[in-house]
Copies of this chain bind each other. A is one copy, B any other.
Amino acid sequence: MTGVPAPPPTLDRIDRKILHELMQDATLPVTQLAERVGLSQTPCWKRVQKLEAAGVITGRVAIVDPVSIGLGLCVFVEIEAADHTPEWRASFAGVVADYPEIQEVHRMAGEVDYLLKVVVSGMSAYDALYLDLTKRVPCRNVTSKFSMERMKSTTVLPIDTSAT
């Protein structure tokens, strides 16, 4: 028996409302946050602290428009591993962690072993990444799927703020 990673802290309706608000706008002053969730300042502030300490809130970040900073190309990369050993996985994990252009890495069920989301300035930058990555880690197959238009993009998670 391996056990589950962590006992998820129990969040009540007010906690979830707090998260819902802060996921949309982390600049919201505690005063306003408190009235939106139906609490007064002090206990509201304490809940926010608790959610941060518990690792439920992992950070507060600025969201930047990729196009404005010259990152016009988004690519989803499907990878089949050369073999299915713990060693390959560890090596792969280490390599993808190195690239700031790789925004997301998922280990997948089904045909595709890994799915990557990559953000770069353009085709030549992507090709450089592709060549470098496939040099560092052996892949049976790599399929690149190119985004033409980012129609929707949000960091707000679908949290349920109704009922208990």
Contact = CB atoms under 8 A, between A and B. Distances in A.
A148 interface: yes
Given A108-B148, A120-B158, A158-B120, A63 B64 contact: no
Given A147-B107, A151-B107, A26 B62 contact: yes
B119 A151 contact: no
Contacts of A16: 69
A19 interface: yes
B68 A8 contact: yes
Interface residues of A, number: 68
A74 B157 CA distance: 11
A25 B22 CA distance: 15
What number of copies of this chain does the assembly contain? 2
A123 to B, nearest CB: 12
A59 B120 CA distance: 21
Would you call the interface of chain A mostly helix, strand, loop, or mixed? mixed
Contacts of A153: 103-105
A6 B120 CA distance: 19
Contact of A69 (B11, B76, B97, B152): B11
A66 interface: yes
13 contacts: A8-B67, A8-B68, A19-B69, A25-B60, A26-B62, A27-B60, A56-B69, A101-B158, A104-B152, A107-B147, A108-B146, A115-B145, A119-B157
